[in-house]
């Protein structure tokens, strides 16, 4: 199921995009659940794990940019799409890694193209496989299921994934050579992290993943890490 949030303080616009998304789901046989909000504060209070969020920028109580800034404090990965009369806001939205802009008035095809691109990105993520050597033989893992690698000792690397943990007898540098350098980052001598699992990052305090795991980040890598993280989010 794809969980979609839409937030617009104009009830007519909210109902319109709800109808458009419902029609797209029916047309493409997408299992989609849509959550509607007329207040950005309510969206933030819910703290639901959405797969994609459609936001208006100009709203009375709190604008879409500020909403996105708050969302990024607890979810660095969810794609955010701005549906707005004000396309010039893209410069501000860059900081919160907007997935796409749709200008009002829009055609249903504009929203449909966003959904198709989003689903294509999910499919691409799901198809990437990678092999690792263990004491019991070779394991094949979905690269996007791997949250991080931890060097415990020589020839002992913990591979932590969404469906279990594994131990590889390869060294961490060899593992890094196999990975997509745009998606994985070596945060310190002992850790490699999947940027798509990063939930929170603060200077000098390391990285927190979606499952609340804390990962150390070398001080001299903080600027480079933020640049790589920003680039990765723009591709999601």
pLDDT in tens, 89-124: 555 555 566 678 888 888 899 999 999 988 887 766
| 50 SS3 class | coil
Q: Mean pLDDT, to the nearest integer, of 59-77?
A: 79
What is the 8-class DSSP label of residue 29? T
Query: 126-130, 153-157, 196-200: lowest mean pLDDT where?
Result: 126-130
Q: How far apart are CA 56 and CA 94, in angstroms?
A: 15
Q: How far apart are CA 77 and CA 94, in angstroms?
A: 14
CA dihedral 231, 99, 217, 139 (to 10 degrees): -90
For the chain, residues classed under CATH 2.40.50.1020 are 128-235
Reading the block at residue 13, the tokens are 């616009």
Are 201 and 231 a contacting pair, CB within 8 Å? no
Q: How far apart are CA 141 and CA 159, in angstroms?
A: 10
| 84 SS3 class | strand
Domain spanning 2-126 has what CATH number? 3.40.50.2300
Q: Give Cα separations from 84 to 45, 54, 87, 104, 108 (angstroms).
A: 23, 10, 7, 5, 14
**Nearest Cα residue to 4 out of 61, 83, 60:** 83
Q: What is the pTM of this model?
A: 0.57
Q: Mean pLDDT, to the nearest integer, of 60-72?
A: 80
Q: How far apart are CA 232 and CA 236, in angstroms?
A: 7
The pLDDT value given to residue 56? 87
The pLDDT value given to residue 37? 94
Q: Does 127 or 73 have the greater pLDDT score?
A: 73
Q: What is the pLDDT of residues 13-57, one digit of tens each?
A: 999 999 999 999 999 889 899 999 998 889 998 878 899 999 888
Are 149 and 209 a contacting pair, CB within 8 Å? no
For the chain, residues classed under CATH 3.40.50.2300 are 2-126
The pLDDT value given to residue 177? 92
Neighbours of 65 (CB within 10 A): 19
The pLDDT value given to residue 233? 65
Q: How far apart are CA 2 and CA 33, in angstroms?
A: 6
The pLDDT value given to residue 236? 53
Domain spanning 128-235 has what CATH number? 2.40.50.1020
pLDDT at 73 over 60: yes
What is the 8-class DSSP label of residue 1? -
Q: In this structure, what are the phi and psi dihedrals at residue 62, rounded to the nearest 5 degrees?
A: -150, 130
């Amino acid at each position: 199921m794809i969980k979609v949030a839409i937030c617009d303080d104009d009830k007519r616009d909210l109902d319109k995009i709800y109808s458009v998304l419902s029609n797209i789901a029916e047309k493409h046989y997408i299992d989609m659940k849509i959550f509607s909000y007329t207040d950005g504060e309510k969206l933030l209070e819910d703290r639901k794990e959405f797969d994609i969020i459609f936001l208006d920028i100009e709203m009375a109580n709190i604008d879409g940019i500020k909403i996105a800034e708050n969302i990024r404090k607890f979810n660095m990965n969810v794609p955010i799409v701005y549906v707005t009369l004000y396309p010039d806001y893209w410069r501000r939205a860059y900081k919160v890694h907007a997935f796409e802009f749709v200008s009002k008035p829009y055609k249903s095809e504009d929203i449909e193209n966003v959904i198709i691109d989003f689903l294509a990105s999910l499919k691409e993520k799901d198809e990437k496989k990678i092999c690792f050597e263990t004491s019991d033989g070779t394991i094949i893992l979905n690269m996007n299921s791997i949250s991080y690698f931890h060097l415990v000792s020589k020839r002992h690397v913990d591979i932590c994934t969404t469906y279990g943990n594994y131990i590889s007898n390869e060294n961490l540098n060899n593992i890094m050579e196999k990975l997509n350098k745009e998606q994985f980052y070596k945060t310190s001598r002992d850790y490699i992290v999947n940027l798509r699992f990063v939930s929170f990052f603060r200077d000098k305090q390391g990285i927190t993943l979606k499952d609340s795991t804390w990962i150390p980040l070398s001080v001299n890598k903080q600027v480079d890490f933020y640049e790589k993280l920003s680039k990765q989010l723009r591709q999601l």
